[in-house]
Structure 1
Amino acid sequence: MSESAKFIEQIKSSYSPTGSYIYLGAGILDGQVYSEAEVNLSLKMMNRHGLIAGATGTGKTRTLQLLAEQLSDAGVPVFMLDVKGDLSGLNKPGSVNPKIEERARQLNKPFAPSGFPLEIYSLSGKTGAQMRATVLEFGPTLLSKILDLNDTQAGVMAVIFKYADDNKMPIIDLNDLKKLVSYLSEGAGAAEIKSDYGSISSSTSGTILRKIVAIEQQGLGGMFGEKSFDIADLLERVDGKGIISLLNIADVQNQPVLYSTFLLSLLAELFNTMPEVGDLDKPKLVFFIDEAHLLFKNSSKAFLEQIETIIRLIRSKGIGVFFCTQSPTDVPESVLGQLGNRVQHALRAFTPNDADALKKTVNTYPKSDFYEIDKILTALGTGQALITVLNEKGIPTEVSATMLTPPRSVMAPLSSADFGQLINGSQMYAKYKDTLDPESAYEMLTKKINDQTAAAEQVKQEKELQKQETSNNKPGTNEKSLVEQVMGATITRQIGKEIVRGIFGMLTGKKTKSKTGGLFGF
């Protein structure tokens, strides 16, 4: 048997699921594309998570696009991060060009342009339907990540959330959080929590407040509050096709920690609210997290543990998660080990760090009878990838260099007119446009502070009144005899002086003259 025939047989054996699947492309050996060596990914195994990696410009975004298209066709909703705003073209059918025609010929598959149902969301509310979450839904760990707090400050944040929870004070928006931080770090609030929760220093509270204000100044305060996003909206279908939900972050690209953490908060909510379903024939939702390295960069141990727990357990809820990043080394080993489906685009080895990353990547792949993994990874062209996935028995498939099938929708952003029409016609845009302001920690604390102030003022007045009554009731304090009252008068004191002076004058034998010269003024 020739090497090519053996290759085709191995690929067919590894990538021929019995149930529904995603067609990824066809195997490549020695530069030749073998269309019969189809590379497929079983829908049943897409809740085992995955990784899409590769250097800039190698086609990762288009791989996300083709996966989203076929998932939508299969009735599986998709949630994706649109970093550059160029995935909105999913809504419109693509067009044929010479490159597409050549790819279709190599794969021996007809190219059928198609558009897909699309909802576009935004954290700022400027480039799509406003996507919000309450501060309480974020929780202290994720919020500390967003605010870039150190361990001490993160501990204080945990105390604030515990106090709010114990006192039934919902933390809805940033105003609630700022009010809590201020109240618990000074005055009556500081005294209230000292014995049960500990003290919050003014320097720590000041730092937290400044970082909250910085978020507001960047125009992103609107992502915290009500109406909170309902994750059930991610599970919608239209005419049997799964909705593709895009979180457009083109206007907040300079806030990677914020949007990547927001994605994790959605995952955490899915994990906490979705029922256990076990293994399904196809997932209920597939989550794609682009620029995943930003999620893990400078993360605390508690944050990483939370990610690891969610990824490990959420598959039983029927949710698949795919991370998209430049190198597998961007993902912690504890998480990487749970990503069974791998689509690796070309890696470059221009620097010692690149070479080290390449070596580590090679070590994560099964041994191949057909490739030297390190060489094939640096030789892949645009639209090609080295693939290994889990078959229906959960066993890694044969490694295959693959020519990927092209997306069938537009591989560019929608025009301004089409984009505006899509947004304005969106039910989700209308649903989340207006904010709600329910009673929450801000109002409850304001009332509490006012009541405390009023109570303190009443106590003060009562003490003053009591002091005055005590003083009034003291014997002889305010009661003067008639003689004392008369003698106390000004004119009486003056006459008294004259009489005394006259009497003493008489006693000393002196005569006091009046102004007219007579004795005693007579």
Structure 2
Amino acid sequence: MSKSEAFREQIEQGYQFKGDSIVVGAAMYEGQALTGAHVKVPLKTLNRHGLIAGATGTGKTKSLQVLAENLSLNGIPVLLMDLKGDLSGLAQPSPGHPKIDERMGQIGLDFNPDSFPVEILTLSEQGGVKLRATVSEFGPVLLSRILDLSETQQGIVAVIFKYCDDQKLPLLDLKDFKKVLQYATGEGKKEFQEAYGRISTSSTGTILRKVIELEQQGAELFFGEKSFDVNDLTRIDENGRGYVNIIRLTDIQDRPKLFSTFMLSLLAEIYSTFPEQGDSDRPELVLFIDEAHLIFKEASKALLDQIESIVKLIRSKGIGLYFVTQNPTDVPNEVLAQLGLKIQHALRAFTARDRKAIKLTAENYPVSDYYDTKEVLTSLGIGEALVTALDEKGRPTPLAATLMRAPMSRMDVLTDSELKALIKASGLVSKYNETIDRESAYELLNEKIEKAEQEAAKEEAKAPARTTQSRSRGGYKRQNPVVKVLTSATFIRGVLGVLKKVIR
């Protein structure tokens, strides 16, 4: 038996599964595709997370697209973070091309152009279903970690939430949170101190500054109502296909704090909402995070710890989490160690640092008797990748240089008219796109101010005229301290919307 035949046999045996699987391409040996030697990913282990990595222009997005298409065909909903704006083409069939036919012939698969049910979501002013959540749903623990607060400051945030619960003050958006925060060290200082202990004005000032920093990255479009129900991510269309939910993030690439805030809150909400699935034959939902380095960029230690914890725990809910980035070193080692499927496109070695990164990357893959992994990493062509998955027993499959299959849908963005038509046909736009600003902590505290002012006016009217005249001569006009604090410039209206709850 030749070495090529031995390699084919290893691939055919190593990628033979009992349950359903997705074919991602055909194994390659010495640069040539072995037609019919299909490299597969079993549905059963897709909740073990994964990584799609490679240099710019090597085919990462197309590999993501292929996985999303085949998950949808198998009735598994998908959520895609689209930071570059090039995934909307999933809603339209591929126009086809001779090169696609040639590639699919080499792989040994028929090419059938197809479109998929797509829902466009947004965090900004762009068209699509608006994603929001209230501050209360976000919770004190997660909010503190996003703001990177000290232990003392976290305690103050917890007190603010407790006060609002006790006083029945809805904490919906950041304007509510800021108002209560300021009240705690103003007229409400005595009230807070008696019930919850002393609150430092320097600590509340630091928290306020960090909230304003978050606002400056666009959080006013993130916190508020109506909150998005994550169960709407798991819809199946009338043909039994899972919805491909695409979050358009093209206008927040330069706001990593907002992006990481959204991602962590979404994962926390999914974790707290979805039931335990156990050892299922297929995932409930699969998330793909494109340009994943933005999550970890400038992230605090507390935030990284939170992400690591969620990655470890969320798979028990039937959720698969896939990071798409240029280099595996963009993902912290603690997270990287949790990833089962790896699709590694070509890396480029232009500097000593690049060569070191390639060496480290090669060490993350199973040893192969047929490849020099470091060499293959720099010689892969466009649409080729090193692939290893987990089999149905959780063992790594043989490492295979793979000619990746072409997407069935359009490998380009929708036109403006196509995008508008898609959004108009959405069943969720009318459900979530109405902005609601109901009575909350901001308005209720304003009422409290007004009542205090009226009481003060009544008391002053009862006072002897002599006292009033004396005050007038002294140039002193009494202002109720509640009014003074709660009408200050720091109480400008803060924000709107994002997603839900917390990790207890």
- TM-score (norm. length: structure 2): 0.86
Q: Distance in 2 between matches of 1:140 and 1:5?
A: 59
SS class of match (1:252): coil
Deviations 1:290-342 (A, max 9, x none): 12122122322322222122111111111111111122222222221111111
1:315 aligns with 2:315: yes
Show the counterpart of 2:447.
447
Provide the rounded CA distance (Å) in 2 between the counterparts of 1:241 and 1:281: 17
SS at match of 1:298: coil
Q: Distance in 2 between matches of 1:307 and 1:197?
A: 32
Q: Distance in 2 between matches of 1:318 and 1:154?
A: 31
1:41 corresponds to which residue?
A: 41
SS in 2 for 1:250: coil
Asked if 1:426 is matched to 2:426, the reply is yes
Quote the residue 2:404 is aligned against: 404
Query: Structure 1 72/206 Cα, relative in aligned 2: closer, same or farther at 3 Å?
Result: same
Change over 3 Å in CA distance of 1:441–1:361 after alignment to 2: same
Q: Is the 8 A contact 1:141 1:303 kept in 2?
A: no
Q: Deviations over 1:461-511 (max 9, x none)?
A: 78x57x99xxxxxxxxxxxxxxxxxxxxxxxxxxxxxxxxxxxxxxxxxxx
> Structure 1 residues 456, 191: closer, same or farther in 2, change over 3 A?
farther
- Give the aligned partner of residue 258 of structure 1: 258
Q: Which residue of 2 aligns with 1:225?
A: 224
The alignment partner of 1:247 has SS state of strand
**Which residue of structure 1 aligns with residue 243 of structure 2?**
243
Against the structure 1 CA distance between its residues 447 and 103, is the aligned structure 2 distance closer, same or farther, given a 3 Å change threshold?
Answer: same
Amino acid at match of 1:231: V
Return the alpha-carbon distance in structure 2 between the equivalents of residues 140 and 199 of structure 1.
16
Following TM superposition, by how much is the alpha carbon of 1:207 offset from its aligned partner in structure 2, in angstroms? Answer: 5.2
Q: How do 1:122-133 residues align onto structure 2 when only pairs under 5 Å count?
A: 122-133=122-133
Question: In the superposition, relative to structure 1, how do residues 344 and 15 fare at CA in structure 2: closer, same or farther (>3 Å)?
Answer: same
Q: Distance in 2 between matches of 1:283 and 1:365?
A: 24
Query: Which amino acid letter does the alignment assign opposite residue 221 of structure 1?
Result: E
Contact 1:146 1:258 in 2 (8 A): no
CA separation of 1:219 and 1:313: change in aligned 2, threshold 3 A:
closer
Q: How many residues align?
A: 465
Partner of 1:507: none
Q: How does 1:41-120 map to 2 (within 5 A)?
A: 41-120=41-120
SS at structure 2 position matched to 1:427: coil
Show the counterpart of 2:356.
356
Structure 2 counterpart of 1:472: none
Change (3 A) 1:458 1:361: farther
1:188-337 maps to which residues of 2 (within 5 A)?
Answer: 188-194=187-193, 196-202=196-202, 205-206=204-205, 208-209=207-208, 212-213=211-212, 216=215, 220-238=219-237, 239-337=239-337
Q: Aligned AA for 1:297?
A: K
- Alignment partner, residue 486 of structure 1: none
Q: How far does residue 227 in structure 1 lie from its aligned partner after superposition? A: 0.7
Shift of 1:443: 2.5
Is contact 2:54–2:60 with CA below 8 Å preserved after alignment?
yes
Distance 1:157 1:300 in 2: 18
Post-superposition offset of 1:5: 0.8
Tell whether the 8 Å contact from 1:8 to 1:36 is kept in structure 2 after alignment: no
Q: Residues 456, 279 of structure 1: CA spacing in aligned structure 2 closer, same or farther, 3 A cutoff?
A: farther
What is the aligned partner in structure 2 of residue 496 from structure 1? none
Q: CA deviation at 1:232?
A: 1.2
**For residue 437 of structure 1, what is the aligned residue in structure 2?**
437
Q: 1:167 to 1:301 in 2, by over 3 A?
A: farther
The answer on whether the counterparts of 1:47 and 1:318 sit within 8 Å (CA) in structure 2 is yes
The structure having more radius of gyration, on CA atoms, is 1
1:487 aligned partner: none
Q: How does 1:134-173 map to 2 (within 5 A)?
A: 134-140=134-140, 142-143=142-143, 156-173=156-173
How many Å separate the matches in 1 of 2:162 and 2:56?
43
What letter corresponds to residue 25 of structure 1 in structure 2? G
Label 1:302 to 1:168 Cα distance change in 2 as closer, same or farther (>3 A): farther
Cα distance in 2 for residues equivalent to 1:347 and 1:375? 10
Identity of aligned residues (%): 52
| Corresponding position of 2:483 | none
Q: Quick one: distance in 2 between partners of 1:348 and 1:164? A: 54
Q: Which moved more, 1:450-459 or 1:302-311?
A: 450-459
Structure 2 spans left out of the alignment, 5+ residues: 468-504
Structure 1 unmatched runs, 5+: 469-522
RMSD between aligned alpha carbons? 2.5
Deviates more, 1:61-70 or 1:345-354: 345-354
Cα deviation, 1:54-78, whole Å, max 9, x if unaligned, reads 1121111111111000000000000
Q: Is the 8 A contact 1:141 1:302 kept in 2?
A: no
Higher relative contact order (CA 8 A, sep 6+): 2
In structure 1, how many angstroms separate the alpha carbons of the residues matched to 2:56 and 2:193? 52
Shift of residue 153, structure 1, vs aligned partner:
5.6
CA contact (8 A) 1:82 1:246 kept: yes
| C-alpha distance in structure 2 between counterparts of 1:305 and 1:164, whole Å | 28
1:49–1:219 CA distance, 2 compared to 1 (3 A): closer
Q: CA deviation at 1:183?
A: 1.5
Residues 162 and 297 of structure 1, relative CA distance in 2, 3 Å threshold = farther
SS at match of 2:28: strand
Between 1:5-14 and 1:331-340, the stretch displaced more is: 331-340
Aligned AA for 2:120? I
Cα separation, 1, equivalents of 2:340 and 2:382: 23
In the TM superposition, what is the alpha-carbon distance from 1:456 to its structure 2 partner? 5.8
C-alpha separation in 1, matches of 2:163 and 2:3: 68
Q: Deviations over 1:75-110 (max 9, x none)?
A: 000001111211111000001113212211211211
Read off the aligned partner of 1:280 and give its amino acid letter.
Answer: S
Give 3-state SS (helix, strand or coil) of 2:188's partner.
Answer: helix
Partners of 1:299 and 1:144 lie apart in 2 by: 13
Tell me the distance in 1 between the aligned counterparts of 2:112 and 2:41.
20
